[in-house]
């Protein structure tokens, strides 16, 4: 399976993300300068992911699971379909663990 198309797609997504961050910061700066703070700009002042430790734990669990699957598929020379299926199962399990943690607020 040729995954060469992912490089331009990822590059485009990165550019869009950077432009969004820059434009949000410009809007925030203008709103503060003008004193024009209304409810439509409320999303600019929402808490970041750094203030939500369970969000960070979720991504840590997912990436640890993906890394484990990569190691397992490398050492046991699994077929590509099996590796993709195993990755899907591990990510789903990680999201279920995150859901339980969020529900219990451990």
Q: Look up the domain containing 95 and give its range.
A: 48-106
- What is the chain's mean pLDDT, rounded? 81
- Work out how many domains the chain is built from and give that number: 2
Residue 47 exposure: Cα atoms within 13 Å on the Cβ side: 6
Are both 76 and 54 inside the same structural domain?
Answer: yes
Tens digit of each residue's pLDDT (9 = 90 or more) over 21-48: 888 788 777 877 777 666 666 665 665 5
Average pLDDT over every residue of 7-19: 90
Closest to 69 measured CA to CA, from 52, 92, 37: 92
Are the beta carbons of 62 and 94 closer than 8 angstroms?
Answer: yes
Residue whose structure tokens are 């339980």? 100
pLDDT of amino acid 46: 63
Three-state secondary structure call for residue 48: coil
7-11 CB contacts, 8 Å cutoff, 24+ apart: none
Residues 25, 71: one domain? no
Task: Flag whether the pTM goes above 0.85.
Answer: no
Q: Are residues 84 and 103 in the same domain?
A: yes
Class of residue 44 by CB neighbours under 10 A (exposed 0-12, middle 13-18, buried 19+):
middle
């Amino acid at each position: 399976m040729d995954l060469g198309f992912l490089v331009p797609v990822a590059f485009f997504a990165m550019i869009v993300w950077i432009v969004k961050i820059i434009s949000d910061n410009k809007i925030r700066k203008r709103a503060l300068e003008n004193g024009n703070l209304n409810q439509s700009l409320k999303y600019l002042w929402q808490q970041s992911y750094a203030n939500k430790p369970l969000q960070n734990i979720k991504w840590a669990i997912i990436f640890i699971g993906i890394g484990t699957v990569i190691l397992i598929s490398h050492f046991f020379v699994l077929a590509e379909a099996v590796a993709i299926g195993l990755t899907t199962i591990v990510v789903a399990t990680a999201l279920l663990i995150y859901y339980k943690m969020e529900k219990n607020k451990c």
